[in-house]
Structure 1
Amino acid sequence: MSNTPVIAAVDGSEHSLRALEWARKEAVRHDCGLLVAHVLPDHAQLYAGRRASLHDASEPQEIPDPVRDWVRSLLGADGPGLPEGVAYEALEGSVPEALRVIGSRARMLVMGSRGRGGFASLLLGSSSRAVASTAACPVVVVPHAERGAADTDADADADADAEQSAGRVVVGLHAAETPEDVLTFAFTEAAVRGTTVQVVSAYAIPPSPTLVIDSPFAVIPPEGLADEGDGVPAEREMLRSQTERLAPLRERFPDVPVEQAAVPGDPAGRLVIASRAAALVVVGRHHPRRTAMSLAIGSVAHAVLHHAHGPVAVVPTLKDDV
């Protein structure tokens, strides 16, 4: 078993429950431990500070933490402990900073799209956005149930577990700019799931009355990239750039099937469309021209986090680590 855990950030909300379930399955896939982290609310942190400053022996030694009991019951723990391979840690400080610090030792950090106290109209909470913008490890944001079902008919709803195991991993690629860390993460996730990587690149074209932006895009295998064909020049050049950029990944992950898609339109919009049938969408965090200390998340990652219909992994590059 790997010593680098998957961390699930929880607060007792329904949104964090979905994140916990996703993280637990991810830990099994990677044969690693699961660390469940809860940032204590302000009143609990004040209590802990009072107890420490007064050194009052009559005060309970353990800080009340109902979320810990909630986690134990959800994971089916017997007795006071947690199941084997699962640990729990109560954190102090602000939510973004506490999770950023603990994420420095994680394989990935998984959290819900919004937690307790968030406005119902918000698709992405401020804490989720801040952690995805600053953590040194990949951050997976699992959307709330309403988002996943927003644009699908009831008859088309699929079982969530089947979708997670069978759906492809989608990664956005700008052949000249996407860091290697992003592609490696996507291929690794596809490998542990036994599924396909779909690589999506978007190109701008002049507006046309016949272009339907929301139409399904074509997926072309590498062997289909012959010198002749009906594809527009921008599409064919992008597919060739993809093929060249993906060659080292194909060698490293020979058992992972790859689909390539070069599509017209906005990159974020195309990734959101692809997210409807994906187990996971992978995006890079920062625009490559930003400095390593920049806290602003890239525009594509920001848009996908707000609108995707399934889990989104935001992957930093090594130069972003602080």
Structure 2
Amino acid sequence: MSNAPVIAAVDGSEHSLRALEWARKEAVRHDCGLLVAHVLPDHAQLYAGRRASLHDASEPAEFADPVRDWVRSLLGADGPGLPEGVTYEALEGSVPEALRVIGSRARMLVMGSRGRGGFASLLLGSSSRAVASTAACPVVVVPHAERGAADGGAEAGAGAGAGAGADADADADAEQSAGRVVVGLHAAETPDDVLTFAFTEAAVRGTTVQVVSAYAIPPSPSLVIDSPFAVIPPEGLADEGDGVPAEREMLRSQTERLAPLRERFPDVPVEQAAVPGDPAGRLVIASRAAALVVVGRHHPRRTAMSLAIGSVAHAVLHHAHGPVAVVPTLKDDV
């Protein structure tokens, strides 16, 4: 899909403005077209249907679309048209379905975390969640301003289950991930499509890929007293070497998975991190200063009929402080 456009889904809200700005820069990076898509509100769709059914030539051919004018003004268009390389489409139908259909021909679909509807306190709107769960292309969700890095790591850690020790390392982790493309990796399960997307995004930005894998933290001895089934596995105990065996094994598995990507993208620097704690919580922490966080949408062994988004992608979408790319991984023959 080398000629596929970047699609920005807009509705005239401040949230979709952030998505439009992000998508426009992304189209420039990839040297491709930008398609701005707006799903018409119900009253506009009803008008179009009424005019078509009555064949009333006295009515205007098109319903006034203030979002189209809004897009033109934002992009600095001269005259009635749009800047070169930018197109606009008004869509009909439900928001998730209309965007899912148009996304089938996109390099990626970019949208805000919330639209005009819903409650101001929502971390993620229903349309954003539905599109990220079902679209055939990668979906980038750009969070609203209130979820910026200034929110701090404590709320993100609590919301995404980062673990008791995550907040103590939040500032250091965020500093290390500044400007990078961060990708969550389960060496045995993350599909190649997810890694390829992350490396491609790092390449067009001229930045580093930071690969983050997380392993479970063994419970403390005090927990074992009240929980006889919560035992500390031998591989979770530190030895005389460099770190715990679980960390060394995870880094080794990472290296094996990343070898083909390093060969394919020789100019992209790679940082590997194997950290204790919850995967979603660690990715949320890294998102505080990352340019983009990339996650797979599904467990690769789910059936093609399973549309529920994976737990890690779900948590990162709800709590990340920066843009999140959800990359579909389901195949028809899975």
TM norm. shorter chain > 0.5? yes
Shift of 1:289: 2.7
Q: Is the 8 A contact 1:39 1:98 kept in 2?
A: yes
Q: Is the 8 A contact 2:214 2:277 kept in 1?
A: yes
Distance 1:252 1:265, change over 3 A: same
User: Match of 1:191, SS?
Assistant: helix
1: distance between equivalents of 2:186 and 2:320?
19
Shift of 1:286: 0.7
Q: Is the 8 A contact 1:219 1:261 kept in 2?
A: no
- Per-residue CA distance 1:271-300 (angstroms, 9 max, x = gap): 000101100000000112321121100000
User: Match of 1:202, SS?
Assistant: strand
Q: Which moved more, 1:50-59 or 1:163-172?
A: 163-172
User: Match of 2:282, SS?
Assistant: helix
Q: Which moved more, 1:217-226 or 1:301-310?
A: 217-226
User: Match of 1:90, SS?
Assistant: strand
Distance 1:259 1:277, change over 3 A: same
Q: Is the 8 A contact 2:7 2:106 kept in 1?
A: yes
Q: Is the 8 A contact 2:173 2:286 kept in 1?
A: no
Distance 1:300 1:54, change over 3 A: same
Shift of 1:209: 8.9
Shift of 1:156: 17
Shift of 1:196: 0.2
- Who is 1:140 aligned against? 140
User: Match of 1:29, SS?
Assistant: helix
Q: Is the 8 A contact 1:275 1:281 kept in 2?
A: yes
- Per-residue CA distance 1:28-83 (angstroms, 9 max, x = gap): 00000000000000000000000100110101012211000000000000000000
Q: How many residues align?
A: 320
User: Match of 1:187, SS?
Assistant: helix
Shift of 1:21: 0.1
Q: Which moved more, 1:310-319 or 1:11-20?
A: 310-319
Q: Quick check: 1:222 aligned with 2:234?
A: yes
2: distance between equivalents of 1:101 and 1:213?
54
- Per-residue CA distance 1:96-136 (angstroms, 9 max, x = gap): 00000000000000000000022111110000000000000
Q: Which moved more, 1:113-122 or 1:126-135?
A: 113-122
Q: Is the 8 A contact 1:4 1:106 kept in 2?
A: yes
Q: Which structure 1 residue ranges, 5 or more long, are not aligned?
A: none
2: distance between equivalents of 1:222 and 1:249?
32
Q: Which moved more, 1:233-242 or 1:221-230?
A: 221-230
Distance 1:141 1:209, change over 3 A: farther
Q: Is the 8 A contact 1:222 1:260 kept in 2?
A: no
- Per-residue CA distance 1:280-321 (angstroms, 9 max, x = gap): 000000112321121100000000000000000000025069
Root-mean-square deviation (CA), in Å?
A: 6.0
- Per-residue CA distance 1:179-230 (angstroms, 9 max, x = gap): 0000000000000000000000000121349999999999999999999942
TM-score (norm 2): 0.85
1: distance between equivalents of 2:227 and 2:322?
19
1: distance between equivalents of 2:228 and 2:285?
8
Runs of 4 or more off by more than 2 Å in structure 1? 154-166, 207-229
Distance 1:319 1:219, change over 3 A: farther
TM-score (norm 1): 0.89
Shift of 1:149: 4.2
Sequence identity, in percent?
98
Distance 1:276 1:99, change over 3 A: same
Q: Is the 8 A contact 1:217 1:263 kept in 2?
A: no
Distance 1:164 1:56, change over 3 A: farther
2: distance between equivalents of 1:185 and 1:199?
13
2: distance between equivalents of 1:271 and 1:283?
9
User: Match of 1:321, SS?
Assistant: coil
Q: Is the 8 A contact 1:293 1:320 kept in 2?
A: no
1: distance between equivalents of 2:109 and 2:333?
14
- Per-residue CA distance 1:231-290 (angstroms, 9 max, x = gap): 100000000000001000000000000000000010000000010110000000011232
Q: Is the 8 A contact 2:190 2:296 kept in 1?
A: yes
Matches within 5 A, 1:92-131: 92-131=92-131
Q: Which moved more, 1:29-38 or 1:161-170?
A: 161-170
Q: Which moved more, 1:287-296 or 1:305-314?
A: 287-296
